[in-house]
Amino acid sequence: MTIEARSPSREFDVSHVEYGSLRDRSPFPIVDYLPAMLAEDDFTRRFVSGLDPVLASIIVVLDCFPDYLDSTTTSRPFIDYLGSWVGAPIAPGMSDSTAREALLRSASLNAGRGTMPTLSSVLTPRFGDRVSTAESGSTTVSREHLDPTSWPSAAGPSLTVTVHRPGLSYLEWELLEGMLADLVPSTVAVAMVIEPGAQIGSREASSDDPS
């Protein structure tokens, strides 16, 4: 098992350190903390030395814990975990650099969650110009002081998502649906439109894809 975190503030780089290689590099060997009477016993020394590899890996992880919470140094699996804490739009298949950027920008994205600029900033890096969005954008006003319940009915807010040529794979289509469900307010109706000539891959093709 490999520790993938990196601690830039320490001389000991744990970015790719095997637990077994820590056997002789424990920063706190147990034998050094034994009482003098036990430290002289050969069996006790050998016994506690066997525990050093187990404790060494734990010590390294705890020592580097702040780096696990830093989007620039944490491991990729932990990026996904942190993203689930803060609502970062990290999708399966994202490159490492894109996922780190999404985690770094999560605070600003959450501040504008549900708005078109935020939606575009999330969809564009993932789908490029193959997906575009347009909102209904409407306002109901009255020049008279009337009870709002007496106003004429107006269409609710809506969002139209258009898939352009050449289209999306089936996995990308599912990803797009999931991202919209996560980012678009529940009060906004979403319409998915496939441009003529654009193709959506089949489930069978995606399951046969070795990638």
Q: Give domain limits for the chain.
A: 2-68, 114-138+155-211
Q: Please give the CATH topology (third level) of the domain spanning 114-138+155-211.
A: GMP Synthetase; Chain A, domain 3 (3.30.300)
pTM, whole model, 2 decimals? Answer: 0.58
- Give kind and range of the element (H or E) at residue 172: helix 170-183
**What is the phi/psi pair of residue 153, to 5°?**
-65, 140
CA–CA separation, 28 and 10 (whole Å): 16
pLDDT one digit per residue (tens) for the chain, 211 residues: 344 444 434 444 444 444 445 445 788 889 999 999 999 999 999 999 889 888 888 888 888 899 989 988 998 889 989 988 888 888 777 788 888 988 888 888 888 888 888 898 889 888 999 999 999 877 767 777 777 777 777 678 899 999 998 999 988 998 899 889 888 988 899 999 999 999 998 876 655 554 4
